[in-house]
A and B are shown apart, each in its own frame.
Chain A
Amino acid sequence: MSQIRIPTPLRKFTGGMDEVPGSGNTLRAVLENLESQHAGIRKQICDSNGELRRFVNVFINEEDARYLAGLDSEIKEGDVISIIPAIAGGTKNRPGE
């Protein structure tokens, strides 16, 4: 079992949970399982070809999965997967903005 850290913008897919358990031996499998638990989230992370989106980075522990084996990166027991989407800063919260 691994652990997936859900960034704030994607927590609407996990019922507000900031961490969910991951299962699977590869990043691909973990993301597939994540989608089966929380429908709609995978599309935020992967494009229509199933590849990682360019404005989302996924880290396995502290390493960027892209510089490991991408979606084929091995996930071991206890690994922490962090999903880090590009965030502009976004403190605008006035109505109409």
Chain B
Amino acid sequence: MAKTFQELMADLRKELTEIEPEQLAKMRSGPPEISLIDVREMDEFRQGSIPGAIHIPRGFLELKIEDRIPDRNTPVVLFCAGGTRSLLAAESLRRLGYGQVSSLIGGFRRWKDEGRDCETPAVLGDWERQRYARHLAIPEVGEEGQKRLLEAKVLLIGAGGLGSPAAFYLGAAGVGTIGICDFDVVDESNLQRQILHTTDRVGTDKTESAKTTLLALNPRLKVETFNERLSSKNVARIFEPFDVIVDGSDNFPTRYLVNDASVLLGMPNVHGSVYRFEGQVTVFWPGKGPCYRCLYPEPPPADMAPSCAEAGVLGILPGVIGLLEAVETIKIILGIGDILIGRLLAYDALKATFHELKLRKNPECAYCRSGIEFPGFIDYEQFCAVPSATAS
């Protein structure tokens, strides 16, 4: 005979484990580590939840649980507003083979009434949720990660060959604030690789051109432009408000200023360089790994540097390297994966190979060894007779 709802609930209460808020408070301080799941709807979750809770509305629970909690032996505590939906949800998880499931008696309402810790979770608006739906579908990004991206501030040094693809994808990914530092104007020969710019913008400032393109792609971005040449005078001021630097410069004076400022401010410096068919990418993050000066304490003298006249690059190559820089930037913001710290990834386009080299922190490094005072910025001379621009 079919059960009434009341009978069903009574049976579930006998068969399943329910816990008091007091017990949950103890379990949260572990061990063992528990997974806490808020099964309420989005509008309820948005108004406040228990810190650390994973939000999976009950309607999606069975669909998403294996992805979020692959180990069926994990202790799982479910809660809703009052303790009814979470009990029904617990039954579903039991059927899926989760062995240690419990439901919070009295739900979030009672938890909150008892004065226990609550937080208003980082949630996105409807526009963001639709726009970044494919990010939200990845557990490693999700709502929280997307929120981090939206709050992140990334500064691109150069809106050129490396900066263009990086800016495009960082903007598309929803990195909320993108700074662009470049003092050059768009030249027709840039367009072979610098995809932020267009033919009708030849002769206009690269920063403005980049801003136009990025805002067309994603009107909710905040794009800050610095139409100036990086120097010892302005580098700290320009860098200071940002979280991550993406170095896409094309000259040694800028490379060293970028490095030294990242050491001074303790900021990750995502480094890419290209030459003809070869490119390199790494992350210099002072405190966590070597800096650029650990590798190359000083720039080469003008007569030993590859001459500007013989330089050249396959247009797509900075595309590949700039995108690798963007990937590392996203990983840094999200705090996921193995970041390219202390590793140089070298790409050879003709051979279609990547190889990796280990980069060591130089214990004698004049800039990043511990316990030294910052030696100051240096304005190295440009090597090219003709003034060089910032972007590669």
Interface residues of A (CB under 8 A from B): 7-9, 18, 44, 53-55, 57, 59, 62-64, 66-67, 82, 84-97
Chain B: minimal CB distance from A86 (Å): 4
Residue of B nearest to A11 (CB): B276
Chain A: minimal CB distance from B392 (Å): 3
Q: Which of B252, B254, B278, B351 contacts A8 (CB 8 A)?
A: B278
Given contacts A8-B277, A90-B273, 5 further A-B contacts (CB under 8 A): A87-B273, A88-B249, A93-B308, A97-B309, A97-B386
* Count of chain B residues near A, Cβ 8 A: 53
Residue of B nearest to A82 (CB): B357
Q: Which residues of B contact A90 (CB under 8 A)?
A: 250-251, 273-275, 306, 308, 311, 313, 392
CB of B240 within 8 A of chain A? no
CB of B3 within 8 A of chain A? no
Residue of A nearest to B388 (CB): A92
Q: Which residues of B contact A93 (CB under 8 A)?
A: 189, 308-309, 311-313
What are 13 residue pairs bridging A and B, where the CB atoms are less than 8 Å apart in the complex?
A9-B275, A18-B348, A62-B356, A85-B300, A87-B274, A88-B249, A89-B272, A90-B308, A90-B313, A91-B274, A91-B318, A92-B392, A94-B187
Residue of A nearest to B292 (CB): A86
A80 and B389 alpha carbons, distance in the complex (Å): 36
Chain B: minimal CB distance from A16 (Å): 12
| Proximity string of chain B (193-221) to chain A, C-beta cutoff 8 Å, 1 when within and 0 when not | 10000000000000000000000000000
Chain B: minimal CB distance from A9 (Å): 4
> Which residues in chain B, 366-392, are within 8 Å of chain A measured between CB atoms?
384, 386, 388-389, 392
Residue of B nearest to A96 (CB): B386
Assuming the contacts A44-B304, A55-B296, A62-B357, asked whether A89 and B251 have C-beta atoms less than 8 A apart, the reply is: yes
Q: Which residues of B contact A8 (CB under 8 A)?
A: 275-278, 306
Q: Which of A7, A89, A96 contacts B250 (CB 8 A)?
A: A89
| Proximity string of chain B (339-360) to chain A, C-beta cutoff 8 Å, 1 when within and 0 when not | 0000010101011000111111
Assuming the contacts A91-B313, A92-B311, asked whether A86 and B300 have C-beta atoms less than 8 A apart, the reply is: yes
Report yes or no: B296 in contact with A89, Cβ–Cβ below 8 A.
Answer: no
A74 and B231 alpha carbons, distance in the complex (Å): 43
CB of B148 within 8 A of chain A? no
A68 and B161 alpha carbons, distance in the complex (Å): 36
CB of B248 within 8 A of chain A? yes
CB of B56 within 8 A of chain A? no
Report yes or no: B273 in contact with A89, Cβ–Cβ below 8 A.
Answer: yes
CB of B297 within 8 A of chain A? yes
Assuming the contacts A86-B296, A97-B388, asked whether A91 and B344 have C-beta atoms less than 8 A apart, the reply is: no
Residue of A nearest to B162 (CB): A89
Q: Which residues of B contact A85 (CB under 8 A)?
A: 300, 306
CB of B160 within 8 A of chain A? yes
Report yes or no: B162 in contact with A54, Cβ–Cβ below 8 A.
Answer: no
Chain B: minimal CB distance from A93 (Å): 4
Chain A: minimal CB distance from B348 (Å): 8
A70 and B137 alpha carbons, distance in the complex (Å): 49
Residue in B248, B298, B357 whose Cβ sees the most chain A Cβ within 10 Å = B357
A89 and B350 alpha carbons, distance in the complex (Å): 18
Q: Which residues of A contact B300 (CB under 8 A)?
A: 53, 55, 85-86
Chain A: minimal CB distance from B225 (Å): 21
